[in-house]
Amino acid sequence: MHIQLGNIIYQGIKTFSSISDEQESVLAEYAIISMPARLQGMAQGLRTLSLSLFLHQEYCRVAEEVDRLRQAQSSFEVLPLLWGNGKVEGDFIITNISRTINQTDETGNIIACTLNISLKQYIVNDKLTKQQQQALSEAFAAGDKKPPAKSSRVNARTCPQIIAGHVKVTKSNAAAVNGYMQAYNNDSTVNHKLYKHLNNIIETAQKIADAAGNQSSCAYNVTGLSSSANNVTARAQALRSDIAYYIALIVKPIVISNLSEMKAKNNELQAAVRALASAASPLLKSSIVKK
């Protein structure tokens, strides 16, 4: 993974071609009679990021990628932005998306386009942390003392921790799928969310399967891990094909003829994810590091 915005992972060719970052200082200006004005620093403004993304049908579904971002924008979804090395940029909200269509086919379907995305930092006020810091600064033994500087070093994740992370992502997306499928009614928004979660399951399960087949990985030859990951991928793909069918329909059917089959496929997917977690349990235990 190169970078992740919310639940959307960008890697390989499908990633941002440029990222620019901007932050202003908030200053108050006071006018003084017959003298130059005075400035007073008030706070740091919210960070704004500008991202450029080129999409082509050779390596992604262009329209679906655009829809995922626009849905996040329209719902004002708070999106964590983090790099593949584990560094977290913070939480952001999409404020603007501009699209330039670079190429279409003879019927008007988009083959390639460029997106320019604007993000604004989203701050969550933690009252408890502020109260604790205030109490610490006023304490008799700790007052007037500067806290130790925090290290900026980011410790690399171990192999078991990486596998544990993949399993966690798979389980969380499977839980979301299960929630939507309990009351599935072929809603367009739900269909796109289901498709996104199923894609995430397929991608992370494939990463686990690849690691299980890599002799240099801690997942190599772990009993049942490769077959369990491949089973999760197959079950997710089976359900995704049904969701894709309903997404493509122009006229939505009143009655979902294969609803029972879709729910059965979801049950099979949930069972496969539980089996994957069980197969990965030796690695999950070794990923726990005492602080």
Which pLDDT score is estimated for 205?
92
| Average pLDDT of the residues in 8-34 | 84
Report which of residues 141 and 87 the model is more confident about.
Answer: 87
pLDDT > 70 fraction of the chain, expressed in percent and rounded: 85
Report which of residues 261 and 25 the model is more confident about.
Answer: 261
- In the predicted structure, residue 128 carries a pLDDT above the cut 80: no
The CATH number of domain 3-24+46-121 is 1.20.58:
no
Res. 262 pLDDT band, cuts 50 70 90: very high
Using a 10 angstrom Cβ sphere, with 0-12 exposed, 13-18 middle and 19 or more buried, the burial of residue 171 is middle
Res. 267 pLDDT band, cuts 50 70 90: very high
Q: Which one-letter DSSP state was computed for residue 251?
A: S
Which pLDDT score is estimated for 276?
92
| Average pLDDT of the residues in 12-25 | 84
> What CATH number does the domain located at 159-285 have?
1.20.120
Residue with tokens 């992740």: 4
- List the domain boundaries for the chain: 3-24+46-121, 159-285
- The answer to whether 23 and 48 have CB atoms below 8 angstroms apart is yes
Res. 290 pLDDT band, cuts 50 70 90: very low
Which pLDDT score is estimated for 83?
84
For residue range 90-120, what is the model confidence (pLDDT) as tens digits? 889 999 999 999 888 888 888 899 999 999 9
What count of Cα atoms within 13 Å lies in the side-chain half-sphere of residue 246? 25
- In the predicted structure, residue 152 carries a pLDDT above the cut 60: no
| Average pLDDT of the residues in 202-228 | 91
- The answer to whether 284 and 209 have CB atoms below 8 angstroms apart is no
**Most confident listed range (26-40, 121-135, 205-219):** 205-219
| Average pLDDT of the residues in 30-38 | 86
Closest CA to 201 of 168, 154, 248: 168
β partners of residue 115: 53, 99
Closest CA to 94 of 65, 62, 72: 72
For residue range 58-93, what is the model confidence (pLDDT) as tens digits? 888 899 999 999 999 999 998 888 888 888 888 899
Which pLDDT score is estimated for 8?
87
What are the two backbone dihedrals, phi and then psi, of residue 63, each rounded to the nearest 5 degrees? -60, -40
Which pLDDT score is estimated for 284?
75
pLDDT > 90 fraction of the chain, expressed in percent and rounded: 33
Closest CA to 195 of 68, 42, 36, 13: 68
- Kindly list the distances between the CA atom of residue 254 and the CA atoms of 180, 185, 187, 251, in Å, as whole numbers in the listed order: 18, 9, 11, 9
